Structures are given as structure tokens and as C-alpha cells.
């Protein structure tokens, strides 16, 4: 397909409150369909329509944008190579990958998310661009657009959030919860965490079960640690990362013989998520008490708040990602609003915070 581009769309009067959307796809048909869809919504504005990542980067220098709809499979600069450059040029815009490559393999999806894309959506095949798909696409665009506009308006988090006291005892377990934007945050966190840190680590990331093995590979590359999908009855090993499977909550419990082992729970969670962060945090609070350390990274919704409250009640510690570095400040923002966080930091600084907590005696 030719890399045809259009110039930035002229802004109508009174459009300042609209979410501005850029479409980047080498298919003229996809560009036309997406342009019509966005243009028909009163609260959305078509900022630009480009046929290549190169043209998109050039246009972004003069065109403010909130959300970029990005294909991955394009001639010239591919979407994966473009993600970091587009994010740097359009900050604080969010990228929603809309690509057939997300259908063909979880690895493409997780790579895009690890590079900083906020969310992904499979490009519809012929006959699938129905009302349900349109509604899902528009819902994602609106969510990410609101996030970008809040960050741009510097109203993402309180100037002086209420924080709890730092940990008074060293942690014996590290439990991490994340959702939308969490893959990128996890990469940043584990990239900054020393490999030799002798702490068992649990990860609950909202993903389907078909993505579990791809997530293991992603975290193994990012962390340099042993990573596995959790099964029932596994002993917790220092330095190892256990990932919640996509069809069950990852929890821990003290076994009859004494050591703490993993369990899989398929009971519906309060948040409606499977896997859910709440049961993981609640079980860590019960098994480790004040020695539990929970981390909440970027994500949509409120999953983790109930479990974090249990950790705090048991004397443990909760650290949340700050708004400026979050793709979506839903889950960590809910932690902050509930007064449960001891610190609000970007992922790399959370890693340093964990290291410092290990030195507490």
C-alpha cells in the first residue's frame, strides 16, 4: 500500500475539549474507515491521518495529539520501531495499537506494550467491523484520550498526596499488580531491580490465559530472573518471579508443613477481574503480615484497593506508580486516593524503593 498522507485536519471552533486522534496505517481503506468513525463522534476530533510512521513523526511536530491509532505491519519504519519515537514526539499522547499482528501472536502484542503502547486491539477481519467492535474501539480511544488530556493539564494527581509511613521491617514477599500500561511499567521496574535481590516475586497482570507464556518470556528478558506461570503448591524461591495464569487468581498460603506455597483461586473477585490483584494482596497479608510489600502499577479500574487495605491493616507496605509515568492512573490512583500508598513513584524509582526496604531492620 502507498504511504499516502493527509495534512493535519483543520480544527473547528470550540474543539478544545475534544480528544484529538491521529490515524497511522498504510491501508487507504483502514484510514478511510477510521477517519469516518472518529469524525462522526462529537467528543472526538481527527487530528491527522497518515500512511506511514515517518509522515506521522513529521506531522506530530506541529499537530497536538491525544491518541495515536497505530498499525504495526507497515512498509518503511514498522510500528514497533515507531512506538518509542512517536511517544517522545507526542508526549503525553497514548498509543492504541490496532493491527492484525496482535491476532497472529501474543509476542507482537506484548512487545508493543513493553515499548510503551498503552493498549492494543486486533484489526477486524472482513465482516467483523460491527457495532460491538466500533463501541470497543471508541471506548478505548476515549479512555486513553481523557488520560492524556489530564496529564497535559497537569491535573493527574494531587500536588501533595497523603502518604503512609515507609516500611519498618524488611519485606519477605513482593507482590505486583498491573493492568493497562502495566507491561511497559513492569519492563521498566525489572530493568532497574538488581537480579541478586533475594525476594520471591508474584505478578498479577490483567491478560488472557493465551498470553501467559508470552508474558513469562517478556519478564524473563526484562529481569534476567527465573520466571514461570504459577501452579498450585509451588514453594516460593528467592529471586524467582511467579506469574498469575490468565484464568485464575494467584494467591499464597502457609502449608501444613510450614512453608508458604502458591494456590490458584477461581472464585469471582470483587473487581470482576481474572486474574485479580485483590486476592493476591489479601493472601500475602495473611501469610506475611508486616513483611508483605505490594506494588500497584499502571492500570484501569480499582482492582487491588481491597487487597492493599488488608496489607496495610496487617502492617505491610503498598507502593504505587505515580500519575505522570502511568499510561492509565486508575489502579494506582485508587490506591493513592484511599490513602494506602507509602510512596508514589515511577517504576525505576519503585525498584530503588524496594532495594531500600530490604535494608530495613
Active site residues: 179, 206, 303
**Angle, helices 131-152/28-39, rounded to nearest 10 degrees:** 70
Instruction: Count the neighbouring beta carbons within 10 Å of the beta carbon of residue 186.
Output: 26
How far apart are alpha carbons 309 and 325 in whole angstroms? 23
Instruction: Give the C-alpha separation, 350 to 174, whole Å.
Output: 12
Rounded Cα distance between 270 and 273, Å, is: 8
Q: How far apart are CA 115 and CA 124, in angstroms?
A: 23
C-beta contacts of 130-139 below 8 A and 24+ residues apart: 134/37, 137/37, 137/98, 138/37, 138/41, 138/44
Residue in this structure with the C-alpha cell 506461570, named with its chain if needed: 229
Closest to 230 (Cα-Cα) out of 275, 185, 197: 275
- Residue 151, SS3? helix
Alpha helices, H only, the chain: 28-39, 53-60, 79-90, 101-104, 106-114, 131-152, 182-192, 212-223, 277-288, 305-313, 331-337, 347-358
- Environment class of 268 (CB within 10 Å of its CB; exposed 0-12, middle 13-18, buried 19+): exposed
Pairing of strands 292-296, 173-178: parallel
C-alpha distance from residue 309 to each of 281, 283, 334 (Å): 9, 12, 11
Residues pairing with 344 in the sheet: 320
User: How many C-beta atoms lie closer than 10 Å to residue 261's C-beta?
Assistant: 18
Distances (CA, A) of 178 to 255, 304, 325: 27, 9, 13
Q: Which residues pair with 260 in a beta bridge?
A: 254
Amino acid at each position: 500500500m502507498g504511504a499516502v498522507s493527509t495534512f493535519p485536519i483543520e480544527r473547528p471552533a470550540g474543539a478544545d475539549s475534544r480528544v484529538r486522534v491521529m490515524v497511522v496505517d498504510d491501508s487507504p481503506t483502514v484510514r478511510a474507515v477510521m477517519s469516518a468513525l472518529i469524525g462522526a463522534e462529537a467528543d472526538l476530533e481527527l487530528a491527522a491521518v497518515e500512511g506511514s510512521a515517518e509522515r506521522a513523526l513529521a506531522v506530530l511536530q506541529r499537530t497536538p495529539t491525544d491518541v495515536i491509532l497505530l498499525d504495526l505491519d507497515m512498509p518503511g519504519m514498522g510500528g514497533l520501531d515507531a512506538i518509542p519515537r512517536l511517544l517522545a514526539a507526542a508526549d503525553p499522547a497514548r498509543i492504541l495499537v490496532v493491527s492484525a499482528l496482535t491476532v497472529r501472536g501474543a509476542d507482537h502484542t506484548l512487545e508493543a506494550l513493553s515499548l510503551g503502547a498503552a493498549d492494543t486491539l486486533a484489526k477486524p477481519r472482513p465482516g467483523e467491523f460491527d457495532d460491538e467492535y466500533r463501541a470497543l474501539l471508541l471506548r478505548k480511544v476515549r479512555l486513553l484520550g481523557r488520560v492524556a488530556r489530564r496529564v497535559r493539564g497537569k491535573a493527574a494527581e494531587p500536588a501533595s498526596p497523603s502518604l503512609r509511613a515507609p516500611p519498618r521491617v524488611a519485606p519477605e514477599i513482593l507482590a505486583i499488580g498491573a493492568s493497562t500500561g502495566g507491561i511497559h511499567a513492569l519492563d521498566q521496574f525489572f530493568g532497574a531491580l538488581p537480579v541478586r535481590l533475594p525476594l520471591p516475586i508474584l505478578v498479577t497482570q490483567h491478560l488472557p490465559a493465551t498470553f501467559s507464556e508470552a508474558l513469562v518470556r517478556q519478564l524473563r528478558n526484562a529481569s534476567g530472573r527465573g520466571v514461570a506461570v504459577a501452579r498450585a503448591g509451588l514453594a516460593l524461591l528467592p529471586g524467582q518471579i511467579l506469574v498469575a495464569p490468565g484464568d485464575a487468581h494467584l494467591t499464597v498460603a502457609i502449608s501444613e508443613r510450614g512453608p508458604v506455597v502458591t494456590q490458584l483461586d477461581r472464585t469471582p473477585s470483587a473487581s470482576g477481574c481474572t486474574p485479580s490483584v485483590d486476592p493476591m494482596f489479601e493472601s500475602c497479608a495473611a501469610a506475611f503480615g508486616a513483611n508483605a510489600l505490594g506494588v500497584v502499577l499502571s492500570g484501569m479500574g480499582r482492582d487491588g484497593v481491597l487487597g492493599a487495605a488488608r496489607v496495610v491493616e496487617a502492617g505491610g507496605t503498598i507502593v504505587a506508580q505515580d500519575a505522570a509515568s502511568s499510561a492509565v492512573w486508575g489502579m494506582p490512583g485508587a490506591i493513592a486516593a484511599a490513602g494506602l500508598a507509602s510512596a508514589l513513584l515511577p517504576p525505576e524509582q519503585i525498584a530503588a524503593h524496594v532495594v531500600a526496604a530490604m535494608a530495613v531492620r
